[in-house]
Structure 1
């Protein structure tokens, strides 16, 4: 009843907001333009930030992601229309026909949807044929504690380094059964998966991200005729300044190794501990005996029945990149490759191999094999709905020029030495509001890099200093985009992490947010230290590690096993049967 009243109040508040916007938005639309006008963008308004704010706020407060996303899209469709009273009703339908439909019609988006379903189908097959349990049996010879399980999960992110989507889906689905056995919370698993996906792909010298990032840098250089450094060289030289990516990777490894948690992640861990004695708290059925009985009855086969399809997935995607790319070296091939085709080919090939291995060994009959495939795909449906709505909302933010508005607000605050720090913060806000790291990179890179070049030249800075500021700005856009992406509940990679780990999406966002914010704050301080205080980057990193360790051991805790009663840091698997 209380929740029903909450939604009633929310609906009334939203209707009031829409009428207010209809009355005030036209006047406000032309008030803030400055930097956006210089970038030759359409007029922007403060109202452009409302659709993502509506979606984010409702998702976090009411834990209803689908409802929140649709309201955000509806609000955006109204603002993109004629702002009349009648438009309040027509935008309800155009939200579906003009934005949600277009989100599914996009070839790249459909590739991700199909790839996700293929991964789900493959995982469903190797789960039912016993291969996954075989992998767990093999790994548990060496993984006996929560700490080991967390470290293995984090380090697996380095194996599937070439694409964040593939990283998230493979590691999340593969490690979930093992972490469930170890009683590691789904929220912690989702964080370990999410925090090692995009950061690793961002700094990997060869990945599906590199082609896009180099392309964004090249677009920016096109506006700087006097700047003739190769785009890939700019990316490579910018790596030392990508503090968020490297500090996030360090943070994940250190917090996994320490066995400690704090803030909302610690609360999720304590809730899981209490669930052993309070079944109503066991939201993922990790302690229910029925689950154990079902697992005992299911087939257990050799670990190779899961490992081979997974390896086929990884190397199939790499092979697809090679086939679709063109160049004389690996980097040129990756830059020109069609990553969507590569993912589709790798995913489809892995599912075919899983089916062939299952049927050839008579682990399952045809009917049960197809049932396992469909069950695996079915687990992806809820998350895919969220993903489609997130894409539609992202399209709304592009149409309303949300990024241009944010640039117009913060643009006048930038100066040569503080520029990278401000860009890092601005990129994070933009990615948080739009839910798209790639979208943020594509929008801000062509604006920020020429701005850094012009400011450096107009301020009379030396050649080397100007280049350092450009390198730092490039990494600020890349790192800030990933930071905001980690914090945003409408981010596609955050949603995919929830899908792969089967973690409640809002819980994943709430538990990941404090960790991401701490690393983001350290990254801003590091950027200030390098550019403003002139501290070498090779000194900044050891200092950052010291700060991260201090934060983890100061605020992080290992729940007392006497108080929360099942196991503490050294909870071990004693038997899988």
Structure 2
């Protein structure tokens, strides 16, 4: 049964690579896990494996922490919709543009990158806001749309995975909450930030291209060609910046307060799942009240906005649920213990971090989704932490960084496509011009994780 215990994760990965369907891969893996558990207990009712899978899902939802995370993930969708559809995000962007600080190529690039950093609540929203805002600036200073696509794409995903006060953070937190680790899941998530070498180095390289005005490889030819595609994109009309700042501020500072409150005065001892749920719920109420009290929406239309936002995140919430459930089944099956023993025997400890980073990159590149990569690799990486005593921050950072790396290189990625759309750049041109930068940073990151492995182990 030891070797068979790794079959479900392999099935999940194979289906994701073949069909580009994360939910299908997780679902088939879950059923196959329950089938193996039935075989292991000599249960003759093997056809009950699908029924057992449903029971496993129900038992997962019954856990208070898991239920809070799932509700929180839905509420994040509503909050993002309130902030977006109110015009608050675009109002903040407009203030930055109209301040008169974009008076040179460097300043135009700098404000574009800064805007992508400010709008960290969602990667696609970040690239749309900063890309559409900066088109005229890049045209004015004779900078290519391919360069714009690179700046917004290589700013949005890294900053979203570093700041984590967004749907990404909620999603990863939900995956981590399924494991009993020495550190609080929220504290561990934040502790991984300094070790996410790919995201940090990518931001540094973007800053380098902006402030030195140097581009290399295919990007240099793109600067000569100056090709552009002017697509029309419907975005909410700018209103008041407070529609974004106030709800977002409540979510940020509310989370910190409730961490302190649930931890009896100790932030690190607080409940992450309770804190983010309480803060996001209050932020949603405030966002809703701001919409209707300012006459922008009626109660009915505001509720529709909120539920539409929830529906946008429903596939991700489904992935979270199935991933947590699969992790629970694999724990009973003993997959993590077996993989940890296999790694410990056949792979030098210092190569585990580079291997996780490369695995994440390959999966993300071939599927075009870093979210699905996290859903499959975190349930593999966390048992390694528990069994081999690996530093959880480094393991998590390697997985997250690998997912972002593959996403940057992949023409299948939705962020890559939306970055091209927002910048008015051909998709394949964007992939071709961004790829050398991503590969260079990825190579350095592999070396850094190998060095970190040597130092730690």
Query: TM-score normalized by structure 2?
Result: 0.67
State the match for 2:422 in structure 1: none
Other-structure match for 1:484: 399
- 1:294-340 deviation line (CA, Å, top 9, x unaligned): x4xx553111121111111111111111111124xxxxx12211111
Q: 1:343 to 1:117 in 2, by over 3 A?
A: same
* 1:136 and 1:177 in contact (8 A); partners too: no
Q: How does 1:232-381 map to 2 (within 5 A)?
A: 244-246=195-197, 248-255=199-206, 257-258=208-209, 276=229, 287=231, 289=232, 291-292=233-234, 295=235, 299-327=237-265, 333-381=266-314
Give the conservation status (yes or no) of the 8 Å contact 1:437–1:485: no
Where in structure 2 are the equivalents of 1:514-553 lying within 5 Å?
A: 518=443, 520-527=445-452, 530=455
Structure 1 pair 393–197 and aligned structure 2 pair: CA distance change class (3 A): farther
Aligned to 2:158: 192
What residue is the counterpart of 1:140 in the other structure? Answer: 97
2:48 maps to which of 90, 93, 98: 90
Q: CA RMSD in A?
A: 4.7
Task: Tell me by how many angstroms 1:98 deviates.
Answer: 2.6
Asked whether 1:424 is paired with 2:349, we answer no
Is residue 153 of structure 1 aligned with residue 91 of structure 2?
A: no
Q: CA deviation at 1:346?
A: 1.0
Q: Secondary structure at the match of 2:162?
A: coil
Query: Which residue number in structure 2 is paired with residue 114 of structure 1?
Result: 71
> How far apart are residue 445 of structure 1 and its match?
4.0
How far 1:218 sits from its partner (Å)?
7.9
Matched, 1:75 2:32: yes
The 10-residue stretch of structure 1 (364-373 or 100-109) with the greater mean CA deviation from structure 2: 100-109
Q: Quick one: distance in 2 between partners of 1:261 and 1:116?
A: 39
Residue 14 of structure 2 corresponds to residue 57 of structure 1: yes
1:367-421 CA distances to partner (integer Å, 9 max, x unpaired)?
Answer: 222222222222111221222222222222222222211222132358xxx64x1
> Quick one: which of 89, 100, 125 aligns to 2:82?
125
**Shift in alpha-carbon separation, 1:71–1:119, aligned structure 2, 3 A:** same
- Give the whole-Å Cα distance in 1 for the aligned partners of 2:35 and 2:277: 36
2:60 corresponds to which residue? 103
CA distance in 2, matches of 1:365, 1:242: 41
Cα distance per residue 1:414-438 (max 9 Å; x no partner): 8xxx64x145357769999984777
Distance in 2, Cα, partners of 1:515 & 1:423: 21
**Counterpart check, 1:448 vs 2:406:** no
Cα separation, partners in 2 of 1:172 and 1:430, compared to 1, 3 Å: closer
Distance in 2 of aligned mates of 1:516 and 1:98: 44
Shift of 1:123: 2.3
Instruction: Give deviations 1:46-66, integer Å, cap 9, x for gaps.
Output: 222221121122212321222
Going from structure 1 to structure 2, the CA distance change for 1:500 and 1:361 (only over 3 Å counts) comes to: farther
Using the TM superposition, give the Cα deviation of residue 178 of structure 1 relative to its aligned residue in structure 2, in angstroms.
0.7
SS at match of 1:321: helix
Give 2:144's aligned residue. none
1:300 aligned counterpart, secondary structure: coil
Determine the C-alpha separation between the residues in 2 that align with 1:108 and 1:398.
17
Q: Secondary structure at the match of 1:250?
A: helix
Contact 1:73 1:393 in 2 (8 A): yes
Q: Are 1:118 and 1:351, in contact at CA under 8 Å, matched by a contact in 2? A: yes
Verify the 8 A CA contact 1:255 1:261 in the aligned structure 2: no
List alignment gaps of at least 5 residues for structure 1. Answer: 1-28, 30-44, 158-169, 200-207, 220-231, 278-286, 328-332, 450-472, 490-497, 533-577
**How many aligned residue pairs are there?**
381
* Aligned-partner Cα distance in 1 for 2:320–2:196: 24
CA distance in 1, matches of 2:160, 2:12: 21
Gaps of 5+ in 2: 135-147, 166-172, 364-372, 405-412, 420-426
Cα distance change, pair 176–118 in 1 and its aligned pair in 2 (3 A): farther
CA shift in 2, pair 1:131/1:261, >3 Å: same
